[in-house]
Structure formats: C-alpha cells, structure tokens
Amino acid sequence: MELECRGDRAAAAGCGGGLQVIDGSMQDFPLTLDRIVEHAAKWHPEVEVATAGEGGAIGRTSYAEMRVRSRRVSRLLADLGVTQGDRVATLAWNSQAHVESWYAIMGMGAVCHTLNPRLQATQLAWMLAQSGARILIVSADLMVLALKMLDDAPGIERVFVIDGEVSPKSYGSAEIAPLEPLLGAIDDAGVSWGEFDEKTPSGLCFTSGSTGAPKGVTYTHRSSFMHTLRLLQADVSGITSQDVVMPVVPMFHANAWGLPFAVPAAGAKLVLPGRHLDGGSLARLIAAEGVTIAVGVPTVWLGLCDHLDATGMTLPSLKRILVGGAPMPPALMERIEGQLGIPVQTSWGMTELSPVGTFGVLSAPTRDAAISGRPALGVDLLLMDEAGAMLPEQRDVEGRLHVRGAAVIDRYFGQERSATNAEGWFDTGDLAKIDRAGNLMITGRAKDLIKSGGEWINPAEIEAVVCALPQVSLAAVIGRSDVKWGERPLLLVELREDQEISDQELLGSLRGQVASWWIPDTVVRVSSMPRGSTGKIDKLQLRAAYSGG
C-alpha cells in the first residue's frame, strides 16, 4: 500500500513525494427486510411462531420453516407476473400466514399494501384503486367484506385466502383460491430476494383518516430496517431472544408498530392472536404461551383487566405491557400495574413515523401516563409555533410538534409535494411539551382545539383529568356550536361497568385543574364510546352526532 506523506510531519520523517493514502472501506450491505427473516432462520431456526386459531387451537411453525414458506409465496407471486415495485394487498389479521405473506411480498421487491378490515368496503376499494394492486391476500373470515370490496375494485385479478377454507371460484374478474394447497407444489428454487436498492418501497399503509381523508404512507426497506434497530434499543422495546412477544396491535396498523420485523430480528418467540382480541382470549393465550411482553392500544387492556377481575386469573409470565396509539388513561395504567404487578410502558408515534417516535423509560424515577417518553437515536423532535418558526425555548413550553429521522415520511403516496419543510421537519399536527429530562407529553391535537369566545380550549387537558377518575373508562371532549360563544366544550363519558358518578362530581373534578371557563356546560353519557379503525376514540363520529347543539 502506498502512503502519501504531507506537511511538516512528512518532512520530519524524511518522506519523499508521490505517495498516496488509500482509505479502507466497509462492505456494501443493503438494509433490505429479507435479511431479517434470513437471520432468524439461520441463527434462531427452532424458535416458534404461534398463532391463535378457532376453538383454542394453536398453529405453530419455526423461523426456519417460515423462511421456506415465505419464499414459496414469492415464487407463486412471481409466476403470476408480480415484479419489483408492484403492489400486493393484504386484508388479514395477525397470523403466521400473514407474516409469511409480508416477507414474501417485500423480499421480492414488491410492495405490501395492508388494508384495515375495520373500514368500509367502499373505502378499501378506493385505497386499492390508488395503489393499483392486482392481487389480494385475505383472511377467510373476511371474505364477505372482500367480496363487497371487489364490487368496486375491478383491478383485482387474484384473491388468495389464508387462515381458513374456501372453494376455488370466480367473482367478477377475480379468481379466488385458498393459498395453502398451492404452496405444497411450489419449489422456491430461483427465487430472488433482496437484489435491489435499500431505498426500494416495501410497504404501503393509509392513515386512519381520523382528522381528514386517509393518506398513503410508503415505507422503504431502509426506513423499516432502521426503525427495527431503533425499536430494539434497550430503552425502547428492549426485546431479547429470551422474550415471548404478543403484538395485539394489528399488522394493518402501521406495520404492527414494527414488531413483525423486530421480534424475529431479536430471535424472540412471536405469538400472534389472530382475530380474537377479547380479554378472555388474550388472557388464555398469554398464559398458554408464556408471553412476557404484550403490545397494544389502551382499550385492549380494559378488556383484559375486566376478564382478570371476573375470573381471578393470573398471568405470571407477563413482565410488561407496551401501550400507544392513543392517550393512556391514568386510572387504567394504575389498574394494570396494581392488578398485574407489572409496569406499563407508554409510547407515542404515528403512521408517518413507521410508527414509533418516543418510548417511556421503565427505569425512570417517576412515571406518568401522560409522559410518552424520549426519542431514541434515529428520530428527533422540535417544537414550533403556528407560523412554523422554531420556539426559542424547547423545554416546558407548549408548541406544535415536528419530527424528522430515518423512518419519518418525506412525501405521501401519490403526491409530488414534500410533506416536510425546507429543513426536513414533518408537522405531526400534535400539540406537545418536552420536560427538562427530554420526556415528551402530547397535550392535544391542533385540529381538536375549541375556540370559545375567541380563546382556545384544549380538550386533551380536560380529558386527562376526567379519565383519572376511577369510575371513568373513557372520556372525550368536543366543541359544540353555541350562539353566544361560537363553541363550548361538551364532555362525553363512558363509565366502567357497575360504576356511578354524578354530573356534578365529573365537572367538579375539573375545578382548580383547568380554567373555570374551560369546564364543559353539559355531560353526555355513552354506553360505548365510538372507536375508529385503530382503536382510538372516533371524534368525527362524536362531532357528527353532538356538535350541532
């Protein structure tokens, strides 16, 4: 190797001219998602993937077998003309077959377009038209919805059914067949995985549309790989090969928070709950499979706690619960931690962030349901004012939350215009504070603010106080039209079963906690709070029903 000597050091060493320094280099190792299942199959081949079926049945496979089966699905898709960049849609629950389909689609360079079965058929058909998918993979028990969807989605040519039986048939222009019988006759020889740029699109997920029309978010192999590494950090999920992880959060909701990638990457056992997410089904699955980490939105854990209360059942294997997707009611957090004797780890994120933004640190000296935690390496936060200018002070002040990072959206699907500002910051639409320790606290949604008499009221602050009452299961505050003030806040509550509390007590809890003119004039009790497709309270429905006065 020739070395170039320059300057005084070269002269002092007596070096002659004409020598050149040649730096070393590192391997070009594209961060494609097929490497995750390849890694799991090679280094954790016998680790189980368990799926809850009907009647308490449990389907089992291993990471080694999952790799083989995923490659066979890739071969089938390739034989049908699917190539890099094509979109393949899935309408399915959390199951082994769905995970295998994910790796099959993404591994060959196609794009996995996940569809939310909690949406209407017309909405799903619209999303399919946007993506241009020709092939749909669907859970058997969702076929009724799928057929309604196909009426408005003539672009679908093939439908493969997983997790159940179906007879091959035609429906309109689509051919319908069960996937499982086809795999046994397929040889995965010649299947090419991962031979493309790491910035190749891998997934497509539309936002829930809770504050407007749904928007498509395109994930890349690199963004999801980087998100996986961030999720595995010790102060984030901290998943290890000794864990048994159950993602209750659906795979159609922001990649199940990245867990179908992170769990096999760590070599942990993956437990998939299928379609039964009631408290009893989840409790039995946790106990039977020795689940150590369970992940889902807060409303899921209400059902679990109610089942444990009713049966006296215990879950000794469970070490912690990870929550996100919606604010964590303080009373529910206290209930879980007191009843199960395990910590609840809060988080914040959104579809546009792949989705994890911040995670609560379990070792923090004080923990609060309102605290969403700190960002891990790979994502950054910034508070701005309404005009888009950075706030001069970033601690203990409220501002509009902006983010940027390796797994943060740059541009929505089908749009040419960037979703970020000139410096790459994405406006989340959330109002937030960051404390001196760097912990994020979401204080509301900018679009949820109520303007009463020319002044702003933040519903989230009212909801947090009311939700802390032990009698309250869920609470929501919306603006209601008012002749004098323009808008006034309306409080809607869902009480816990067999609990009672007067309107005076509900509103009295707010005195001294919020400004007196923030206190709602009226309380409405609902038997069941309407929830959107991702489990959040659906304020669009509430406004449609109650905001007109």
Give the active site residues. Answer: 207, 352, 451, 456
Q: For residue 443, what is the enclosing H or E element? A: strand 440-445
Q: What's at 467, amino acid-wise?
A: C
A 10 A CB-CB count for 5 gives 17
Contacts of 502 (CB under 8 A, 6+ apart): none
d(CA 267, CA 265): 6
Render the burial of 504-527: b for 16+ CB within 10 Å, e for the rest: eebbebbeeebeeebbbeebbebe
Tokens of 397: 């002040």
Rg (CA), the chain: 25
**Cross-strand pairs, 349:** 356
Residues 6+ apart with CB under 8 A from 189: none
Residues near 240 by beta carbon (within 8 Å), at least 6 away in sequence: 266, 268
Q: SS3 string of 307-365?
A: HHHHHCCCCCCCCEEEECCCCCCHHHHHHHHHHHCCCEECEEECHHHCCEEEECCCCCC
Q: What is the residue whose two structure tokens read 């049945």?
A: 57
Compute the C-alpha angle 428/431/436, nearest 5°. Answer: 110
